[in-house]
Amino acid sequence: MKITEIRLHQLLMKMKTPFTTSFGTQQDRFITIVEAIDDSGLSGFGECVSGEDPLYSEEFMDASIIAMKKYFAPLVVQNEIEHPDEVWELFKPFKRNNMAKAAIEGAVWDLHAKQKGMSLSEAIGGKKRQVEVGISLGLEDTDELLLERVQEKVDEGYKRIKVKIKPGRDIDMIRKIRERFGDIPLMADANSAYTLDDIETLKALDAFDLMMIEQPLAAGDLIDHAKLQKEISTPVCLDESIDSYESALGAIELGSCRIINVKVGRVGGLTQSIKIHDLAEKHDIPLWCGGMLEAGVGRLHNIAITTLSNFTLPGDTASSNRYWYEDIITPEVVAEDGIVDVNTSYGIGADVDFHKMNQYLKKTDVITEANTPDMIFYN
């Protein structure tokens, strides 16, 4: 394929409600939609999921935009690409910046699928036609408010409820949820808020029969998680610690987790996600697809990866309207009773609606072979 142009559509969206984790609160969502255009005028789309600030991981949107503009978009317009699985190798000399890499690679994958007349799910080898989804609920000011949120989402039929925890907002809060809602599929995500010094608290959570505890300890850590997993019966699920195929292999070999949350952006794209999928499947480690508060494009990429066989647990890809008054795609993503139908038409399976997107658009950068910025300095 010949990609002639990459457009970086930089959006500022506002979520319906603030989302609070152990690392902070966000409501403004800075999102970059990558559009890869081929020589016949066909467009593929990807989404950069970096946060506004480097709180979840080291990546942040301003840095990702520079990385895309300066390195990854130019590589894609300057090289002939036969298949999207070459893109990771093309980007490899440049270290990390996985979310920037994944956004560009995602647009190439969508374009490839469209050129072949396939859905993105088909193009990556996915078979499921429906996927089960859960929901991730942020911390609320009071437990009572959280219980109301949980009630709403249980009523909407989400297949599992994930709540955020942090020291001081854990045991009592989880107990109240269990008391009110009985044995609903429930899990907790700590976003790295604990250390092994908190082992007694983490052990106490075993009493609540959680499906898993997500990323209790430091991002990047595998050793302490392995120690923790030996001490608790609740399965540990790693999110932040799995940022590559190699870290997934390390976690599996060390016994750092029993479940892995795959985020396409965090691991550097669909090609790496597939590699981790195949590895985990071989080792009987179930997967689910995490979320990064995506707009529609990223949401559809998440659904596509979830159609692979070893994504056996409900992910965080909730309906568009859980986050946005108006998403940027038509049709929007809709979960009914916690089930999303996989659109099998072609590519990501919905159109980017420029009319809707333009209301959020701040800037579009265009990278072509004739316009590849070498140095971005105070600009």
Catalytic residue numbers, as ranges: 164, 263
Of 27-35, 145-153, 180-188, 284-292, which segment contacts ligand OSB by CB under 6 A? Answer: 284-292
Number of C-beta neighbours around residue 172 at 10 A: 10
Binding site annotation covers 327?
no
State yes or no: 214 annotated in a binding site.
yes
* Distance in Å, CB of 191 to ligand OSB, minimum: 5
Q: Which tokens in the block code for residue 340?
A: 């999303």
56 is in the binding site of which of ligand OSB, Mg ion, none (Cβ under 5 to 8 A by kind)? ligand OSB
Cα dist from 100 to 51, 60, 371, whole Å? 11, 9, 19
Dihedral sign of CA atoms 253, 255, 256, 262 in order: positive
Residues forming beta bridges with residue 336, ordered by sequence position: 339
Determine if 316 is a binding residue for ligand OSB (CB under 6 A): yes
The residues with which 164 forms a beta bridge, in sequence order, are: 189
Q: For the window 176-205, what string marks contact with Mg ion as x by the rule CB under 5 A?
A: -------------x----------------
Applying CB under 6 A, which of residues 106, 126, 216, 290 lies at the interface with ligand OSB? Answer: 290
Q: Which of residues 174-213 bind ligand OSB (CB under 6 A)?
A: 189, 191
CA pair distance 46, 36, nearest whole angstrom: 8
**Token digits of residue 99:** 């979310």
Q: Which does 316 bind (CB under 5 to 8 A by kind): ligand OSB, Mg ion, none?
A: ligand OSB
Residue whose Cβ sits closest to ligand OSB? 291
> From the CB of 196, what's the least distance to Mg ion, in Å?
19
β-sheet bridge partners, residue 132: 339
Q: 302 near 271, Cβ under 8 Å?
A: no
Q: C-alpha angle with apex 159: 98 to 288, nearest 5 degrees?
A: 25
Stretch that binds ligand OSB, among 88-96, 276-284, 289-297, 331-339 (CB under 6 A): 289-297
Q: Any contact of residue 293 with ligand OSB (CB under 6 A)?
A: yes
Binding mask 215-254 for ligand OSB (x = CB under 6 A): ------------------------x---------------
**Quick one: tokens of 353?**
């609606």
Known binding residue 239? Answer is yes
CA torsion 145→148→149→154, rounded to 10°? 160
Between 20 and 115, name the residue whose CB sits nearer to ligand OSB. Answer: 20
d(CA 92, CA 56): 23
Enumerate binding residues for ligand OSB (CB under 6 A): 56, 136, 189, 191, 239, 290-293, 316, 318
Q: Which residues contribute to the annotated binding site for Mg(2+)?
A: 189, 214, 239
